[in-house]
Amino acid sequence: MDVSVVIVLILVRWTCWISEVEMVKAESDVSDRLTLESVRDSLIRQEDSIVFSLIERAKFPLNAPTYDPSYFSMPGSYGSLVELVVKQTEAVQAKAGRYENPEEHPFFPDDLPPSQVPPHKYPRVLNPAAVFVNVNKKIWDVYFNKLLPLFVAPGDDGNYASTAARDLECLQVLSRRIHYGKLVAEVKFRDEWKHYEPAIRARDKKTLMDLLTAPAVEKAVKKRVAKKASIFGQEVKVGDDSDENKGKYKVDPAVVSRFYGDWIIPLTKDVEVQYLLHRLD
């Protein structure tokens, strides 16, 4: 493996992220006008990013050596190639201030370098005692062991570095969406604190989960992401009116809907419950 290729990919990804900083800051303005509607609007926009990132990853087959620690060897304990790409990219982005944003969560937080850019004054909305909640280990496990085999084709085309870069994009958009549960929990707590406070003081996770669960909303989300996957991922041929490509998608809409129902929504609610348990600290 040419390490220079990996470094170039990291730098390209860092450059792309810099161009997203203003968008991230704009989305963080939701903190200034925190309502359930504004938070849901952001979650809906994030659905687009998730679907597109899955489509981009699906361009490559599984490429198993990307995840095999025995395939990649380099001084230092990096593990697999995908771990190297994620760790090194997070280190560069940490210097650029990505993780100063409370909405961003690293997968490998230990030993990240400090930010080297002037700090941005993000509005303080979340309870400082509860911002530590981080479920990225669960996200990592679900993505690689449960989701990935469902939507990528088996095989090996040798594009391991590009595969790892696409995995990183998927991981980061999933992490941001799932940890947005903190904002969901905060706004729900503010709107109905009389219902939430007794359950928080009693450490009653079941009651908190019941309060947070909205079956009709969850059903609508699953239908919407399936529709987006069918629209964004359909095969389009200009001037071809045949039915040959109808029903062919880059990512199966049913898989995207299942991913939301089985993992994204439950993990988001897990974040919400963990946040609320510390909301009064």
Which residue shows structure tokens 């989300």? 221
3-state secondary structure of 234: strand
Average pLDDT over residues 28-48: 80
- Does the pLDDT at position 54 exceed 80? yes
- Helix ranges (DSSP H) in the chain: 3-28, 36-57, 81-95, 136-142, 148-151, 160-179, 181-191, 193-201, 205-212, 215-232, 253-259, 265-277
In DSSP terms, 234 is beta-bridged to 249
- Does the pLDDT at position 90 exceed 70? yes
Residue pair 62/148 in contact (Cβ under 8 Å)? The answer is yes
- Does the pLDDT at position 166 exceed 50? yes
- pLDDT score, position 24: 45
Measured CA to CA in angstroms, residue 43 lies from 51, 56, 146, 214, 224 at distances of 12, 20, 23, 15, 12
All structural domains of the chain, each given as residue ranges with its CATH number in brackets, are 35-235+246-278 (1.10.590.10)
- pLDDT score, position 257: 97
* Chain CA centroid to CA 63, Å: 21
Distance CA 120, CA 122 (A): 6
The model's confidence at residue 15, banded by pLDDT at 50, 70 and 90, is: low
* Digit-coded pLDDT (tens) for 94-108: 999 999 999 999 999
Best CA proximity match to 91, nearest among 70, 106, 71, 73: 106
CA atoms 172, 174, 175, 180: torsion sign: positive
3-state secondary structure of 115: coil
The model's confidence at residue 72, banded by pLDDT at 50, 70 and 90, is: confident
- pLDDT score, position 216: 97
Radius of gyration, alpha carbons of the chain: 20
- pLDDT score, position 99: 94
Q: Among 13-22, 29-38, 40-49, 219-228, which is the least confidently predicted range?
A: 13-22
8-state DSSP, 112: P
* Chain CA centroid to CA 188, Å: 22
Distance CA 174, CA 166 (A): 12
Residue pair 131/151 in contact (Cβ under 8 Å)? The answer is no
3-state secondary structure of 249: strand
- pLDDT score, position 246: 66
* Cα within 13 Å of Cα(111), Cβ side: 2
The model's confidence at residue 30, banded by pLDDT at 50, 70 and 90, is: very low
- Does the pLDDT at position 279 exceed 50? yes
Average pLDDT over residues 125-153: 94
* Digit-coded pLDDT (tens) for 220-243: 999 999 999 999 998 877 766 666
Q: What are phi and psi of 179, to 5 degrees?
A: -75, -10
In the chain, the percentage of residues whose pLDDT exceeds 90 is 72
Measured CA to CA in angstroms, residue 202 lies from 144, 205, 206, 277 at distances of 36, 9, 11, 9
Q: What is the four-CA torsion angle of 175, 37, 272, 228, rounded to 10 degrees?
A: -40
The model's confidence at residue 10, banded by pLDDT at 50, 70 and 90, is: low
